[in-house]
Amino acid sequence: MGPGGFYQPGFNSGAKLNLHMMCFGRNWDPQTKYAARYRCDGYQAPPVPEKLVSLVKTSIKDSQAHDDKIPSMHPDIYIVNFYTTTGRLGMHQDRNESSNSLRKGLPIVSISVGDSARFSYGHNRDVRKANEVLLESCDILIFEGKSRNSYHGVKAIIPNSAPLPLLQQSKLKPGRLNLTFRQF
């Protein structure tokens, strides 16, 4: 909370995303895309914590054991989304990273914490034609290669689905955190 903390990203029209966001490495906002500073309070995005860089690299290494074509990457952007139990995110592509990162299909590593989410993915923006997978707390999803540019979104959060020990040991509010790691 406070300067450099969670904010609700918004568009020129005044419409806001149905989630709260906090960024490390580079700030992202629908109007500025990636920038060094937060648009709302001018605060500089802090660096990606080293412990999380190691976690992401280990996750990629583990998946490379199953598919050696998955490219390695060094996460220099870390975006945290917090969805309340009514939060959601429309179908979109993640295309604001550098052309080099997109061309190489460098992975985006996404980690879910808290309540489960109905996650949609597909070849276009039409959510009715999308596939769906349930992302539960501690699931790690990697988009890479061709799937790097797939459309995706969060259809709904399943209330009261977070693991009890997580709620007992943390101060997590009802809802879901999603952590995504990217290389610009």
Residue whose CB is nearest to ligand AKG in the complex, by number: 178
Q: For residue 24, what are the β-bridge partners?
A: 78
Query: Which position among 137, 178, 181, 182 is part of the footprint of ligand AKG (CB under 6 A)?
Result: 178
Cβ closest to ligand AKG, residue 94 vs residue 144: 94
- If binding is defined by CB under 6 A, does position 23 make contact with ligand AKG? no
d(CA 116, CA 92): 20
- If binding is defined by CB under 6 A, does position 152 make contact with ligand AKG? yes
Contact 70, 142 (CB under 8 A): yes
Which residues have CB under 8 Å from 4's CB, separation 6+?
Answer: 22, 38, 41, 43, 44, 45, 46
User: Residue 72 carries which DSSP code?
Assistant: P
Shortest distance (Å) from residue 17 CB to ligand AKG: 10
- If binding is defined by CB under 6 A, does position 79 make contact with ligand AKG? yes
Shortest distance (Å) from residue 68 CB to ligand AKG: 26
- Chain positions 128 to 147 lying near ligand AKG, rule: CB under 6 A, are 135
Task: By CB under 6 A, name the binding residues for ligand AKG.
Answer: 79, 81, 89, 94, 110, 117, 119, 135, 152, 154, 178, 180
